[in-house]
Amino acid sequence: MKIRKIVFFLIIFLVLFFPLLAQDYNNTTIISVSQNPQAIRKINKLNLDILMIWQGRIYIICNRQLDDLLKIKKANIAYQIETQKFYPFSNKDANLQGSINGPYHTYQELENDLMTLEERFPDLAKLYILGQSLENRNIYALKISDNVSLEEAEAEVLFIGCHHAREWISVEVPYLLAKYLVENYSRQLTIKNLVDHSQIWIIPLLNPDGLEYSIHFYRYWRKNRRNNGDGSYGVDLNRNYSYNWGLDNEGSSPNSFSNVYRGKSPFSEPETQAVRDFCLTRRFQALISYHNYSQVILYPWGYTSVPSPKNKLLEEMAAQMSELIQAVNGRFYEYGQAGNSFYLTNGDTTDWALGVYHIPAFTIELPPVDVLHGGFFNSGEDIQSIFKENLPAALYLIDWSMKNFSEQFSNSTGTKGEKNKQRKNLTIFVKRDKK
């Protein structure tokens, strides 16, 4: 009887307090500071995890291990504690629709849905495994094309979702794009034309370990789940690419406790390695990496505010996409060079894609604009409208790639650097096992 009682109380204790025991849940304080130029200048130097800007205030997630709050005090920035607005899981109702992740995919649900897509449309969709995450989850890429099993001399475009665990909507948009393309292939001539003349690759979930951790333990988790060996976990996958990796400590952090920790070396993480190795075997003309939130379309460089040699083209393309997006629901996505936006980054996907492959690459920060519209807790009901508004921009990029295919294709060999280290085997990736 006594033992049963103890077990009973132990279970109750674990159910109630497990989230609090989970790493990092208790380790953060959310503060806000006034959004004035002086504060922005000071904050930029401190390498902080910016949650959002809303109603003239900048919200910041302060990590105790990093003494973020202390840094803010030392810099003489006036702040307000906001933690109570966010914990625990303030926007519960928007997300909990029968399960903890509501209509958002878990890793397992996504795996099933990708397999189903392939089964339903075997001529158009083929699922590949690009590698495994640290916790041995598969990193999937769905190829969409006519004659999908063949290698054809066609434009190639890449869409990636979920570098960052807590950005759940960034899984849904590329997944729904894949679904839309195959389901509408025989219904819409424009879709058929795009799919017939291109090879579209979709990696909806680059950070499966992080996503699972965010769903089950700590909603604000951002990085992958690398055990850094010093009590800290995670590398920011969007600081782990090789181009100008670790250039300075402003665009990424050498501190493993930081949310923008860049890892031990460029491509130290299996998730970014999967992208690197995959791109070596393809000839991508363009890519989009989905994130949230802010409603912006960003293009390289992110490591500097100096424009890239392709700045004009990137700006034009971003402007086009922004216009197409706005035409759907009226929501305006700001656009501009990433390094001119609120903060600098180094080692991100798009700098690497432009720097190494010289291709147009965009970070689309999906809605919402601020926390009152959901922040990282996007509502389940918003998935469809966010996808729908992003659809024409994605189609535009495929179309652009098709139109620019011959030029890019003939230019894509013969230059120095990472991209030419190997370009040989186009089918090195394991076809996933049937369950």
Minimum Å gap between C-beta 251 and ligand 0X9 is 7
Contact pick of 126, 164, 166, 239 for Zn ion (by CB under 5 A)? 164
Minimum Å gap between C-beta 5 and ligand 0X9 is 47
Q: Which residue in 154, 128, 131 sits closest to 141, CA to CA?
A: 128
For residues 106 and 264, what is the distance between their CA atoms, to the nearest angstrom?
28
Q: Which is nearer to Zn ion, 140 or 221 (CB)?
A: 221
Q: Active site includes 271?
A: no
Q: Which is nearer to ligand 0X9, 168 or 405 (CB)?
A: 168
State the DSSP H helix or E strand holding residue 350, giving kind and residue range, or none if neither.
helix 349-357
For residues 309 and 418, what is the distance between their CA atoms, to the nearest angstrom?
19
Supply the DSSP string of 264-300, one letter for each residue.
Answer: SSTT-SHHHHHHHHHHHTS-EEEEEEEEESSSEEEES
Contact 313, 360 (CB under 8 A): yes
Q: Which residue in 92, 86, 238, 78 sits closest to 167, CA to CA?
A: 238
Site string for ligand 0X9, 353-372 (x = CB under 6 A): ----------x-x-------
Contact 211, 171 (CB under 8 A): yes
Site string for ligand 0X9, 167-186 (x = CB under 6 A): x-------------------
Sheet holding 138-144, edge to edge: 334-337, 296-299, 361-366, 284-292, 155-161, 198-203, 138-144, 125-132, 430-431
Under rule CB under 5 A, residue 262 binds Zn ion: no
Q: Which is nearer to Zn ion, 118 or 209 (CB)?
A: 209
Among Zn ion, ligand 0X9, none, partner that 339 touches (CB below 5 to 8 angstroms by kind): ligand 0X9
Contact pick of 298, 356, 371, 391 for ligand 0X9 (by CB under 6 A)? 298
Residues between 263 and 292 with contacts to ligand 0X9, criterion CB under 6 A = 291
Residue of 269, 271, 365, 389 marked active site: 365
Output b/e per residue, 272-309; b: 16+ Cβ within 10 A.
bbbbbbbbbebbbbbbbbbbbbbbbbbbbbbbbeebbe
Contact pick of 105, 137, 143, 164 for ligand 0X9 (by CB under 6 A)? 164
Site string for ligand 0X9, 210-249 (x = CB under 6 A): ----------------------------x-----------
**Measured torsion, CA atoms of residues 308, 311, 314, 318, in degrees rounded to the nearest 10:** 110
Q: Which residue in 131, 153, 148 sits closest to 140, CA to CA?
A: 131
Q: Which is nearer to ligand 0X9, 109 or 334 (CB)?
A: 334
Q: Which is nearer to Zn ion, 282 or 291 (CB)?
A: 291
Minimum Å gap between C-beta 366 and ligand 0X9 is 9
For residues 160 and 107, what is the distance between their CA atoms, to the nearest angstrom?
15
Site string for ligand 0X9, 6-25 (x = CB under 6 A): --------------------
Q: Which is nearer to ligand 0X9, 238 or 244 (CB)?
A: 238
Contact pick of 25, 180, 343, 409 for ligand 0X9 (by CB under 6 A)? 343
Contact pick of 143, 166, 179, 291 for Zn ion (by CB under 5 A)? 291
Among Zn ion, ligand 0X9, none, partner that 298 touches (CB below 5 to 8 angstroms by kind): ligand 0X9
For the chain, the helix, strand and coil percentages under 3-state DSSP, each to the nearest 5: 40, 20, 40
C-beta atoms surrounding 102 within 10 Å: 19
Contact 219, 376 (CB under 8 A): yes
Q: Which residue in 267, 285, 32 sits closest to 158, CA to CA?
A: 285
Under rule CB under 6 A, residue 302 binds ligand 0X9: yes
Minimum Å gap between C-beta 11 and Zn ion is 36
Give the interface with Zn ion as residue ranges (CB under 5 A).
164, 167, 291
Q: Show which residues are catalytic.
A: 365
Give the interface with ligand 0X9 as residue ranges (CB under 6 A).
164, 167, 238, 291, 298, 302, 338-339, 341, 343-345, 348, 363, 365
